Amino acid sequence: MIKINFEVFTRTLEKIENTTSQNEMVSIISRLLKDSEAEEIDMVCYLVLGRIAPGYEDINLGLSEKTVQSAISIASGVSKSQVEEETRNLGDIGEVAGKIIKKTQNPFKECFGYTGELSIKDIFQGLRKIASTGGKGSQDIKKKILASMLIEADETGRRYIARLAEGTMRLGVGDMTILNALSLAFLGSKRKKPVLEHAYNISSDIGLIAKVLKAEGIKGVNQIEITINRPIKAMLAQRVSNFEDIRKKIRSRDIAAEEKFDGERIQTHKDGKNIKLYSRRLTDVTSQFPDLVENIKKYVKVEKVILDGEAMAYDFENDLFGSFQILMQRRRKYDVKEYRKKIPVKYMLFDVLYVDGNSFMHTSYPQRREKLERVLEESKYIALASRRVSSDLDNIDDFFQECINKNLEGIVCKSCAEDSYYRAGGRDWTWIKWKKEYISKLSDTLDLVIIGAYAGRGRRSGTYGALLCASYNHHDDTFETVSKLGTGFSDKQLAAMPEKLADARVDKNPARVVVNKEMEPDFWFDPEYVVEVLGSEITKSPVHTCKWREDEKQGMALRFPRFIRWREEKSPEQATTSDEILQMYKGA
């Protein structure tokens, strides 16, 4: 069985890095996946994405920039200070490794475990070995394993090994790009991606999808089911411009209005005493919320369950919900015990997806709610989202006002129809959000992705004067410009901006970013950082590419945008979509 040679793999990565065409990127990856064997195709997917595991697995290489520099120093025989100087000069750890390491005798071969022609599997397992090495002296062992890998690779391979080790691959490839490539490689067309996307939405493992598709075809992919400890992509709510439109869009006689929270979406996976908590980005945040873990063990009365809810900062003394900004202080690796006392949380549950071997995703919302009420024993620390079920919009509006008075964001109106299923990763008209911001001119804030910046002048000299922001086009897996954002930032935020965005900065227009020449920024960024933005209205634009119509030479733009906050809990693909912006423009 022929496995992909690592040298061939890195030449392919070089082609991906050098293309500015999203279609060409998909074609290159498609050919790579087609040539991969079933036993390595998952590794190929992870490495192209700059990972060594599914995103939800809490696997960390534990390598800082200084540690990678030390490994390069060991592999090259060049002093660490010289490696640091080269890093400052070149600005890319990969270029440094490629430039100064030469092929030589490898004194650390036994650390790496490499025995023959370098393959993808060798590199993947070497990186996994680094991640699993712990205890006394582990940093020295990690450096020797990495140094050994760097010595064995050629110049191109060293560039990508160093970037993988530091977590700075920056190829501009996303999970949807891989799904498009898999669809093209094995189903003949990108148009067949939706069936793969459904399997991905309920498994969150791109490597699993690839492996099953390669070995068993589409039939095998269709048999992938939800499983404990594999997070499910969250269902999302639609928006409307007018409160009365809720009645038009939700067809069931009764509407269930639930509290809408301004906290962190947390999906719970309980397997006996083992509890895992996953964020909206599908990352493992269990260690950040030990109090939630304790309360889930105590008050959730079934052995195996997947729950959907929101963690909220809570003032128990005054019986008040805290803001999102307060809660975000809990997102930390250190001082967790201190901040647990300083910022207590309350877990508000609103859905159940799986109980003791049975999926509830294809049961109606009323049935899921009834099941949720049975599996949970409510307490002051963990409770059900309050709701009001009514066919009368005036009654729903009264409940909305009550929620605003409780310092909540608003309400989520849910259909009670028989087909009100939980649609993983979908934004469906069976859920509609109504927030206090909707009473203003524009019917919501937008979550936009930073893809560029313009040099600051005058008072902003030395930092960025404005950011170029984009919406996400889910159909094309591209990012389309919609706003030039320059207001709402404090002087401190402006000063810190170059450093904050430094790890996403690239030299050219990323392949998945669609920008008109008139809007080309001074600096480019890989789509990574998401910001919440408030504007006055959505208008047609001759320069922005959101929902661009070639026949009219026009796209959509957000007028008078203002920065509200960073959205660290959202991935770029979870940003406001171009379709949503068009809906907002039409007042749907």
Which residues have C-beta within 8 Å of that of residue 1, sequence separation ≥ 6?
37, 39
Tokens 């036994």 correspond to: 110
Q: Which two tokens stand for residue 220?
A: 């095998």
3-state secondary structure of 358: strand
Active-site choice (260, 270, 276, 435): 260
CA–chain centroid gap for 520, Å, is 25
- 260 catalytically annotated: yes
Give residue for tokens 């950011």.
467
- Identity of the amino acid at 58: D
Q: Long-range pairs for 135-142 at CB < 8 Å and ≥24 separation?
A: 138/62, 139/62, 139/67, 141/111, 142/61, 142/62, 142/63, 142/67, 142/71
**Phi-psi group of 471: left, alpha or beta (phi > 0 → left; psi -120 to 50 → alpha; rest → beta):** beta
Q: Are strands 446-455 and 464-473 parallel, antiparallel or unpaired?
A: antiparallel
**DSSP string spanning 207-256?**
HHHHHHHHHHHHHHHHT----TTSPPPPPEEEE-SSTTHHHHH--SSSEE
Cα separations in angstroms, 462 against 355, 456, 518: 55, 6, 23
Given the structure tokens 């996976």, which residue do they identify?
Answer: 269
Whole-angstrom distance, CA of residue 145 vs CA of residue 158: 13
Instruction: List Cα–Cα distances, 23 to 471, 505, 547, 553, in angstroms.
Output: 19, 22, 18, 22
**DSSP label of 322:** P
Q: Which DSSP letter does residue 318 get?
A: T
DSSP letter (8 states) at residue 551: T
Helix, strand, coil share (%) of the chain residues, nearest 5: 40, 25, 35
Q: Which residues contact 338 (CB under 8 A, 6 or more apart)?
A: none
Catalytically annotated residues: 260
